[in-house]
Structure 1
């Protein structure tokens, strides 16, 4: 049955491929106007040979007509002179008539004074005399030609000359048409030359597809024949030993095995997560962070990693920033700027990201906030920074800026750069920004220990960034979107089993 199913699928694919190749050839023939390439190319060659014969006959006729016309023109030189002189005589007569008319108009419509000064009139009279002299000369020439001996038999010669001209024009037009037809046939040759190759190629592809289709059909027929043979062979088989079933019921023992496996799985999973909980040194939440670092966790921030609630991400971040700023409001000084230092153990912990949200919140409540960044507002490789005793030693406010209420100083990472500990000690509060997904290693304990010893009583708190939504909600409360299911799970996680959300009148 598997072989039959396989060959049926292969037959279907081969049939589809064969139809595709045939349709491709059909569309190609329609596109290039090909019905039968062999017969069309043969008829085109025959047409070209017939055209060559007809063109050769037309060439002979044309050349004989041209030769006859030239011979007659040579013998009709006198007659041509007569015709030319007659044409000149008619032109001169028309010119004399026009000049007489012009002279008469000028004499009638002009005064005697105007006639004396009219240069055009004098020029017309001169031209009139010249034309009359030429007419007299042409008349004498015509009389002389009429009485010469070459003028005898000119009429028959003119008739033959006209017939020769007619034959020349006819054959010339026929040659033009034959040349156009030749160009048309040559263009058809250029078009049919690649068509033959493509047609042969497509026919070859159809032949291959057809052979494949036939082979698959043969395989399908053999598989069906084999199945039928097996059916006929096994039709007479008889059962010698009937099947035996278990005489006792093993269901209770099987149930014990299932229960034991369930209990063992629960114990293994519990111990697995318990070991991870006790040995894992990832910051993750506030309790674990406080246990690993020894610093109080002031707040947590969601960051940008939560894709499930990305539509409410900015709202949640603003709410978390507002909570953090409310916690920091107790450190705000009066009469001078409040300095808040942002520290981190490693790079890309999110200091700039948090500083922007803090500044936006304080600006919204009317407090001027200035963000001071390392490598932008001050250089960390300068000796003034390393030996600084106060913030003004390596950074000063621009004279054009107003004195801010809050100064957020973003320092380089503790693991890669030195920090002016004296300046940190003079700050109002120091925040250590840490990624909740990072490992808190022993080197972090060593670096933090020296900083804590130097700061003494200066507040130093840990701020978790990129924390889970549940960690942030442990500080800020439930975050949007506030769905019923999420609210129920939140109350359940805090053991609020009988709590109700109702306003007090």
Structure 2
């Protein structure tokens, strides 16, 4: 029998289980689903405007955007709808609305009376007091204040447990969001067992998600704008402080233009060096000339240097020369030159007057006509006076140059640290200014981003609002019944498969041969039952067994006997031996039934060692040697080696144990190649029919069943 035939026979054998049990469970499913809730579905359509507004952002160019960015924007909207915060706000507002508008006496567009009464029944009294029948907003605020993270808190558990209308898992599972093709339109579907709840859920969701998305988008941008504004104000104050500090520093150090002023100081220093060399040359030459002239003067003329009027006049001339030289030295600055021009003219005129007066004084003072060397006194003194006046002018200019040098040194000392400080301050101002401009640019970009978000959010509209569902979805009751029916069949087949794979009960021919690796030649029903039908079945089974055993008969052998062996101590083989003996005797065959316990003892020497039994068996055509249980008594190898065959009788309802496997291996090993065949006792009728063919009764249904069981698909009823 091939594997397909075996599987079909196994399934056909449990046909009534496969028919009655699934039908029973299907009827039970019909009964249990008689009051099953119907499902109602509604939907909304949302226009996001993400793709349609592509490139409308004034802060971005089309080249900087791509489809990944657009798809990511749409996915952000979908994630916002599915977010826990959005669904929690939806749950809270939905519960408040249903508790406010529900009616226990009649259905309405909010909730049916049945479900409203169930909702009120599970709501604690202290939570019912939070319901403001006149304000949904106040009710939500009351519920939010009441909620806390506690497993015993009803409002907290309503969202976090498993309520079909308000829990996060239920809402997230039943709210289906689909993008229409590749457009920027989203379709949201929701279904519930209450048409009002389905309608109100999507109605609230269409308002809640827009608020959440706007807050999410604007919140981050507004935070960025506030940050940039605060930074801009801080850096602005810092910049103004640094600029004021620079101004105060310039005022304190009298700096108008540091570069020009230092350049002017350098020019003054250069002119000073040139002027100093000229003045020094005049001074030295005048001093040398005076010494030379004084060396030629007599004592009377030299004494004039100690004259009071002479000294006074010389000091006046020296002072005027100093002032004139000072004014000329400082006249490099054009502004000072304009301011000191009038004073210089006055002093020059005064100097001329003083010098003329000094010359007149010296002419009057001169008494001698000639000097000691014979020079005319008037001319000599006049020359000396000129040199003396030139000396005094150069001396005054030299003193002014010396003072001016000290002032220049002071300027160098003053302006040297000013330069580094100014550069440091200007560098700090430049850095702060760049930071200020950078923050200002970022602030403008953030404000531009905010305007872009406002433009995009303005396009986020519900173009197809939720509608109240009037018709329920097709009932799933039939699907449940069919699922139960076929699920039961699958369960039974699964159990059958497990049994076939792991059960070691012998049962039928195919399984016995698969488990024992032996050859099954016949199967007998339970012997000893009365009735004509049972008698016919036994006769047919014995006929098959006898014919199979007779096939081992060899006329050339001096002794022809068959060993009948069993493993179980409870199996009675006496009736089997007697039936076979009677059957062959009825055919005229001389048969001997040689039984253990009656004709010989399994513990006797005659059985175990002596071969005298062979002579006795040789007087018959066929002998049947019934041995005892191999589990209790040994069977001499001589019987196994000289017999025509050995018939191992096993119960069809017994389990093939490890000890049976070991005894069967021993039996095979000691049989010296003689055939060992198996006969199943106490077998079911369908097992016996595998060997005998169809057994009575021969009714139409029995014939039909037998033909189907043997794949007789085209021979039905024949």
Q: Place the TM-score, normalised by the shorter chain, in its bin.
A: 0.3 to 0.5
TM-score (norm 2): 0.34
Q: TM-score, normalised by structure 1?
A: 0.47
